[in-house]
Structure 1
Amino acid sequence: MRTPTADRTTPAAIETSGLHKRYGTRTAVQSLDLTIPAGSVFGLIGPNGAGKTTTLRMLLDIIRPTAGIARVLGSDPRRGGPALRRRIGFVPGDLRLEGRVTGRRLLEFYAEVSGPVAAGAIEEFADRLGAELNRPVHTLSKGNKQKLGLVQAFMHRPELLVLDEPTSGLDPLVQREFLQMLREARAAGQTVLLSSHVLSEIQQAADAVAVLSGGRVVASGDVASLRLAAVRRLRVGLVDAEPARIEQELAALSQVGEVHVISGPDGSVRVTATVAGDINPVVGMLARHRIADLAVEEPDLEESVLRLYGAHTTGAPDA
C-alpha cells in the first residue's frame, strides 16, 4: 500500500520502495512503500512489534535492509555518510545517556559533530523543555535524559527530524511544549517523521500517518480518515437501574460493541462499553437513567489499531 504522496511541486523528504528486512526466518518489515513530503509531519504508528523502529533504523543506516530502496533527503542512507547525518536530528526509542559530564557539556559535544548550532540554541530549547544542564548526566531521571535527547535533535534545526517515541517519560506540560516545537519545525520547512504510541500526540501533530502492522502498511492517510479516534471506551455508574434492561438497551445501539454490566451490593450498576462512531445516541440512552458518574476514555493506540486493522496483524516483531 502506497502512502499519501506529495504533489508534483513538493519534493519528498523520504521515499522507500519495497523496503524489506528479515532476521533469519523472521520478517520485521515487508515491502514497505513510503513517500513523505518535505515540510510535513508524518506519523508512523502501530502496535508493538509492527516494524516502526526497524523502519526508522533502516532510514538512518543504523541497520541495512535485506531488499528495497530508500532515499532520505535525496540521498541513499547507505552512502550519505556524515554529510547526510548532519542534516538529520534523531531521538532513538531506547535513548541511553550516561557519563559524569554535565548535560550542557554533553550537548556542546553533540553540537561539535552535528553541524552548526546557533548561539543560544541549546539554552533556548533546554529552557523550553525544562532540561537540566548543570547536573551530571548519570544522575538524571529518564524524563530529564529524554529532554536532553530532544534538545540535541532540535538544536541544529535539521532539515529532517526522526523521532522514535520522543515523549517517553515526559510530563504533560513538557509534552505540550514538544508539540509546539513540532508545529514550529513544520512552519520553518523542516520535515518530521514521528513514531509514537500516543494517539493524541499523532492527532495533534501529524499531517498524515501510516499504520504499520506485521511489518506492512495496512492503512494510510490523515488521522481523521483512518478513524483511529472513532473507538472509545465508556465507563458509567448508574443508580436504581435494572442491569438486564441497561444491557439490552445498549446492545440495541449499532455504535456499541463489547458491553459489561455489573451490579453492586448497594444497588448501583457499573457499565463498561466500547463505542465506535457517534457517541451521542449512547449518552442519550444512558441519560434516561440516573447517572452517578460517567467517563469517556480514548483507548490506547495499540487497541485502536488492533480493533480497526486487526485482520492485518501478523505479529512481526521489531528488532
Structure 2
Amino acid sequence: MDIIEINNLTKNFGNFQALKGVNLAVKEGEVHGFIGPNGAGKSTTIRILLGLLRKSSGSIYVMNEDPWENAVNLHTKLAYVPGDVSLWPDLTGGEIIDFLGRLHGGLDLNKKKELIDSFQLDPTKKSSTYSKGNRQKVALIAAFSCNSELYLFDEPTSGLDPLMEVIFQEYVGKLKEKGKTVLLSSHILSEVESLCDRVSIISNGKIVETGSLNQMKHLTRTIVNVTTNDALEGLSKIPGVHDIVHNKNQYRFSIDTDVINTVISALSRINVTSFTAEPPSLEELFMRHYEVKE
C-alpha cells in the first residue's frame, strides 16, 4: 500500500513552474529519501503534502486523502519537522513540546522524557535563548513523542551537531521497526544511506530517479584527495575511477566503493604526503548527473 501517491503534480507561482509533473510513491512502512539540490522542489512538494499549498494540477493522496481537502484530519495522523523551526519566544521548550503534543491529540509522556534526555535539551529555558540546533530539537522531540502514521522530515537535522544527528537516526530506526512511514528530505548523504530503503531524486521540478541506493551506485562514490611528488600513473585505467583532476602535485578524483582496495594498492607504491577521503556532497552529485543543459 502507498501511504503517499503523487501523479503528474505541478505547481506554478505566477509564470514560474516550481513542479513540472512530479511522480512519487512512498510505501507503507518504508523510510523514503527525498533528495535534490536547493530549489529543486522538495519543500514545495512537502508543503503540498501538508495541505499548506494548493497544487496547480495532477493528483496527490496522503493515506488515501486529498491533503488540501482534508488537511485537518490528516494532521492528526502525521508529524512534520521543517529545516528551520520558528518557536514562540516567550514559551519554554517544554511548554512548546506539550502544546504541539496537545495540537496533535496527545503525546507519550515517558517517550518525551526519554527524548529530552537523549537530545540533551534543557526544556526549562525560553525558546528565545535557543540556538538553531536546540530549536530543531524541540520540533524533533515533539514529533517523535507523538504516535503518528507518517513522519515528514524536511532537512530535520539542520543545525544539529554530529552526535545529535546520530540520535536522530536511531529514533528514525525505531519508527521503522514499528512499521511507521517516513519521508526524509536531506542533504546529508550518509544519513540517507544509513536510513532509507528507497530514494527519489528531484531535480528542476521533476523526479529524475527512484530506487535503492544499491541500484544507484553513482551515489556511493568517495572523493579522494592525494598530494604526492611522484607520478601517479595508471589511475585513469582503473575501472571505477572518475573525474580525475591533476594540479601540480595534487590529485582529486572519485571512486566507486568496489575499487577502494585497488586504488589504495596503487597509492601504496608511491610516496604520498597527504591523503583524504570524503563522501561527495549531494550538490556535487547533482551538478554532475542532473545539471540542466542550456
TM-score of the aligned structures, taking structure 2 as reference length: 0.93
Q: How many residues align?
A: 293
Q: Which runs of 5+ in 1 are unaligned?
A: 1-10, 264-268
Q: Does 1:217 align with 2:207?
A: yes
SS, match of residue 162 in structure 1: strand
Q: Could you tell me how far 1:262 is from its partner in structure 2?
A: 4.1
Distance 1:223 1:271 in 2: 27
Q: Could you tell me how far 1:108 is from its partner in structure 2?
A: 1.3
Q: Which residue of 1 aligns with 2:185?
A: 195
Question: Which of 138, 145, 164 pairs up with 1:148?
Answer: 138
Question: Which of 73, 94, 97 pairs up with 2:63?
Answer: 73
Question: Which of 221, 235, 243 pairs up with 1:258?
Answer: 243
Please report the RMSD computed on the Cα atoms of aligned residues, expressed in angstroms: 1.8
Q: Does 1:295 align with 2:276?
A: yes
Q: Which residue of 2 aligns with 1:50?
A: 40
SS, match of residue 125 in structure 2: coil
Give the 5 Å matches for 1:124-139.
124-139=114-129
Structure with bigger gyration radius: 1
SS, match of residue 224 in structure 2: strand
User: CA 1:228–1:198 in 2, change beyond 3 Å: closer, same or farther?
Assistant: farther
Q: Which runs of 5+ in 2 are unaligned?
A: none
Letter in 2 for 1:296: A
Cα pair 1:213 1:314 within 8 Å, conserved: no
Q: Which residue of 1 aligns with 2:267?
A: 286
SS, match of residue 43 in structure 1: strand
SS, match of residue 79 in structure 1: coil
Q: Percent identity?
A: 32
Cα pair 2:35 2:42 within 8 Å, conserved: yes
SS, match of residue 69 in structure 2: helix
TM-score of the aligned structures, taking structure 1 as reference length: 0.86
User: CA 1:260–1:314 in 2, change beyond 3 Å: closer, same or farther?
Assistant: closer
SS, match of residue 77 in structure 1: coil
User: CA 1:287–1:141 in 2, change beyond 3 Å: closer, same or farther?
Assistant: same
Q: Which residue of 1 aligns with 2:80?
A: 90
For residues 226-263 of structure 1, the C-alpha deviation after alignment (integer angstroms, 9 at most, x for no partner) is 1243332111222x52xxx42x5323434333333344
Distance 1:75 1:260 in 2: 51
Distance 1:145 1:73 in 2: 29
Q: Could you tell me how far 1:52 is from its partner in structure 2?
A: 0.5
Q: 41-50 or 287-296, which moves further after superposition?
A: 287-296
Q: Could you tell me how far 1:70 is from its partner in structure 2?
A: 0.8
Cα pair 1:91 1:150 within 8 Å, conserved: yes
Cα pair 2:84 2:158 within 8 Å, conserved: no
Distance 1:222 1:262 in 2: 36
Q: Which residue of 1 aligns with 2:289?
A: 308
Give the 5 Å matches for 1:212-251.
212-238=202-228, 240-241=229-230, 245-246=231-232, 248-251=233-236
Letter in 1 for 2:101: A
User: CA 1:307–1:279 in 2, change beyond 3 Å: closer, same or farther?
Assistant: farther
User: CA 1:261–1:306 in 2, change beyond 3 Å: closer, same or farther?
Assistant: closer
Distance 2:63 2:293 in 1: 31
Distance 1:15 1:185 in 2: 21
Distance 1:136 1:34 in 2: 39
Distance 2:96 2:225 in 1: 47
